[in-house]
Every structure is written in structure tokens, then in C-alpha cells.
């Protein structure tokens, strides 16, 4: 069965948490663009796409500069994802409110996002450990 998967970036695809004070640099293009990927989770996303699933990115950015860095980072590590499937929220906003499909599975490391997604009636996968590998 084919599904729509919504991947978070920071802590799921990109290793944001290896930097103790990463949140202080989260507005900077060079910081975001140079985050190391979690290779296993990148491979899972690629495999999902290869099997006919639709993969979306659902992420928040601390600035417009950080948003552009995330888009460019994705072009480097997940060029298979078309631009219209990349949702990057700058400022306030909930991921569940920006979903582009009637249903979808969120993969995220922030419990607040997981709870909002599930409260709206959709399944979610919580990666409890920062950088845990997605199992599917």
C-alpha cells in the first residue's frame, strides 16, 4: 500500500542535534546547509520513493535564510523530492495545517508535532532518540 510520508528535517534527516547550541545558529544559512545527514534516514526516504510512496518534507525554519539553506540542503541530499513537496514554515504555524494531502504519516523527533498530527487523526512516527533510524 502506497502512503504519503512527511519527514521532518532537523533531528530526522539532518544532524542538527550534534551541535550543543545549534538553536543559536539556526538562522544562519551556512550552519543549516552544512549539517551532516543521517544517512540511514536519507536511504529510507529514497527507498520509500523508489517503492512508489510520496515523500514530503515538513520542517520549520528560524529565518528566510535558513529556509533557503534547507531547500538547498535537500537538493544536495534528496534531489528526488520535487520542490512542491517541500514545506518549510518560517515563523508560527503547525505542520499539520500545512499538509498537502488528505492523509499522511509524519516522521518527527518533536513530541509537540507528533501530538498535533495525531490529534488531527493522522498517524505519526516519533523518533525518540535524536537521529534514530526510521524503521518501516
The tens digit of pLDDT for each residue in 52-62 reads 999 999 999 99
Confidence (pLDDT) at 82: 97
On the question of pLDDT at 130 being above 60, the answer is: no
Residue 81: Cβ within 10 Å count: 19
On the question of pLDDT at 129 being above 80, the answer is: no
On the question of pLDDT at 136 being above 60, the answer is: no
Q: Is 133 left (phi over 0), alpha (psi -120 to 50) or beta?
A: beta
pTM listed for this prediction: 0.91
C-alpha cell at 58: 515538513
- Per the CATH hierarchy, to which homologous superfamily does domain 4-101+119-126 belong? HAD superfamily/HAD-like (3.40.50.1000)
Contacts of 107 (CB under 8 A, 6+ apart): 5, 6, 7, 8, 12, 124, 125, 127, 134
Amino acid at each position: 500500500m502506497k502512503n504519503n510520508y512527511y519527514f521532518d528535517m532537523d533531528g530526522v534527516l539532518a544532524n542538527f542535534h550534534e551541535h550543543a547550541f545549534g538553536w543559536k545558529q539556526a538562522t544562519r544559512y551556512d550552519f543549516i546547509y552544512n549539517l551532516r545527514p543521517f544517512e540511514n534516514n536519507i536511504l529510507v526516504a529514497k527507498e520509500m520513493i523508489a517503492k512508489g510512496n510520496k515523500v514530503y518534507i515538513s520542517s520549520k525554519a528560524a529565518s528566510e535564510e535558513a529556509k533557503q539553506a534547507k531547500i538547498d540542503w535537500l537538493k544536495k541530499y534528496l534531489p528526488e523530492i520535487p520542490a512542491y513537496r517541500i514545506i518549510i514554515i518560517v515563523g508560527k504555524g503547525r505542520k499539520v495545517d500545512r499538509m498537502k494531502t488528505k492523509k499522511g504519516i509524519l516522521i518527527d523527533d518533536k513530541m509537540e508535532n507528533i501530538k498535533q498530527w495525531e490529534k488531527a487523526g493522522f498517524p505519526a512516527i516519533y523518533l525518540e532518540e535524536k537521529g534514530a533510524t526510521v524503521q518501516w
